[in-house]
Amino acid sequence: MNNTDDKATLLVVDDDQDLLQALSRSLRKERTRWDMTFVDSPEDALTILDGFSVDLLISDVRMSERDGMSLLVEARERCPHLQVILMTGMPDIDAAIEAIKAGAAYYLTKPIDHDKLITVIEDALSHRKQPLSGGQAAGLRQLRTPRLIGGYRIVRPISEGNMGSVFLATKEVDGQPQEFALKLLKLSSSPAEAREAACQRFTREAEIAFQMEHPNIISLCEYGIAMQDQVPYMVMDYFPGVTLDQYISERPRIDHKLCLNILLQLAGALTEVHRHVLCHRDLKAENVLIDGAGHIKLIDFGVAKITNSSLTQTGMVVGTPSYLAPEWLSNQPEVDHRADLFSFGVLAYQFAVGVLPFEADTLPALIRKIVREVPISPTTIEPSVPAGLDRLILRLLAKDPNDRPADACAVADELLLIRSGMQGSEY
């Protein structure tokens, strides 16, 4: 989402993470013409509407915090110009009529066809081509007034996560405006005890990130509490890249020399991480940024495990299931840095052949595959994968941590050998 006049801004709300991710994937190709933010909480949606100009709100009807009709009414009260599309898995004619009366442009039934969704969005956004009245223009200017957090001027949202929201922000440094990434903790309507635990995790993430010094780890500039809003925040260097999963999905074929160079950068970053924490625990393609020159930055230490940390107790499974090591999923008493090497192997597999090594329709089935099944070798899917890389990936994905490389530094050494063996050859 941005605040320019030439690009429509969309805000999508659904408290079902799977459906939200499905919508994100469905609309990914439209990012060149629409600026989109995806949130899983109606309260977060209202917060964004308070601070930014939004042209179209797309919301689920049935949500736990509040229903879509209630959100529609309040959103339209705050932003009269706002177009709204409601989605439902339980269609009802009377409800649809009430939604249209309340100001919804469309009332769509799930599962939503991609082409129909695009057509509906285009139609709902057609109002942007019409001149604004004086009152509408004044309201729009008011919405576009940036907010200040900790002395940083928020420009637009960048991404949305379970724990926090990341915004592009600016601040004058030595008389010149400089861009930063500002992360705010999401507290919303959580109970007091949960909010306190979230604040502790957020602060700990900032403390961990502040220790890291590596060219492939995002640099933390400062962290604290925004006194006006009493919201924990951290400020990082702004890195104008895309997530690695988006990078992979947009390329039908990955150059394996480029793949090796990126994996080498990531292995170096992971080596630095393990100097400070026992385990990152959420190493995945979504937590790696890459720019057009092939440089990467590792981000997000929100679930990193520190030795003897009460916030990451043994038996607590956190992270993204497809990337989790078997020892996490089988509740083994001792889990160390080698669990991250398994996640590294999943990411390397994904990068080398474009698909994940373990996929299933349900979470229990996925867990069974990760714990019990040997993945198909990368060269079986893509014969051009270097043999050395194929062997390394399968070792990283070993069920027994003792069968994996010793550490990230050892992985980097092997990647260097594989790359040197490719010099002067096609692959």
Give the pLDDT confidence of 388-414 residue by residue, as tens digits.
999 999 999 999 999 999 999 999 999
| Averaged pLDDT score across all residues of the chain | 79
Asked whether 110 and 88 are in contact (CB, 8 A), the reply is: yes
Q: What is the pLDDT of residues 43-73, one digit of tens each?
A: 888 888 876 778 889 988 888 777 778 888 8
User: Which pLDDT score, from 0 to 100, does residue 91 have?
Assistant: 59
Torsions phi, psi for 131 (to 5 deg): -60, 145
Measured at the alpha carbon of residue 263, what is the angle toward residues 333 and 393, in degrees to the nearest 5? 55
42: preceding bond cis by omega (within 30 degrees)? no
pTM comes to 0.63
From 1-5, 153-157, 216-220, the region with the lowest mean pLDDT: 1-5
Torsion angle defined by CA atoms of residues 353, 354, 356 and 362, in that order, rounded to the nearest 10 degrees: -140
Check pLDDT > 70 for residue 83.
Answer: yes
Q: 50, 56 in Cβ contact below 8 A?
A: no
Question: In DSSP terms, which residues pair with 60 in a beta bridge?
Answer: 87
Side chain identity at 234, as an amino acid letter? M
pLDDT at residue 195 in the model: 64
Closest among 345, 409, 425, 407 to 377, alpha carbons compared:
345
| Greater model confidence, 14 or 315 | 14
CA angle centred on 29, ends 24 and 33, rounded to 5°: 105
Q: Is 282 a catalytic residue?
A: yes
Q: For 228, phi and psi rounded to 5 degrees?
A: -70, -40
Residue 284 CA from chain centroid, whole number: 10
Stronger pLDDT, 207 or 100, i.e. the higher one: 207
Report whether pLDDT(302) > 60: no
Q: In Å, what is the CA distance from 369 to each residue of 89, 138, 208, 219?
A: 30, 56, 32, 36
Does 86 score more than 50 pLDDT? yes
**Residue 141: other Cβ atoms inside 10 A:** 10
Instruction: Return the pLDDT at 268.
Output: 95
Tens of pLDDT, residue by residue over 88-103, are 776 555 566 566 666 7
**Domains of the chain by start residue, with CATH:** 8-143 (3.40.50.2300), 148-237 (3.30.200.20), 242-422 (1.10.510.10)
- Residue among 282, 340, 390, 407 flagged as catalytic: 282
Check pLDDT > 90 for residue 418. yes
Does 376 or 128 have the greater pLDDT score? 376
DSSP conformation letters of 72-127: HHHHHHH-TT-EEEEEESS--HHHHHHHHHHTEEEEEESSPPHHHHHHHHHHHGGG
Q: Which of 174-188, 225-239, 254-268, 343-357 has the lowest mean pLDDT?
A: 225-239
CA 105 to chain CA mean position, Å: 29
> Is residue 188's pLDDT more than 60?
no
Q: Are 222 and 234 in contact (CB under 8 A)?
A: yes
Point out the least confidently predicted range of 10-19, 96-105, 373-382: 96-105
Band of pLDDT at residue 105, cut at 50, 70 and 90: confident
- Residue 260: per-residue pLDDT: 94
Q: In which band, very low, low, confident or very high, does the pLDDT at 135 lie, cut at 50, 70 and 90?
A: very low
Q: Please, which pLDDT band fits residue 227 given cuts at 50, 70 and 90?
A: low
Q: Are 103 and 109 spatial neighbours (Cβ–Cβ below 8 Å)?
A: no
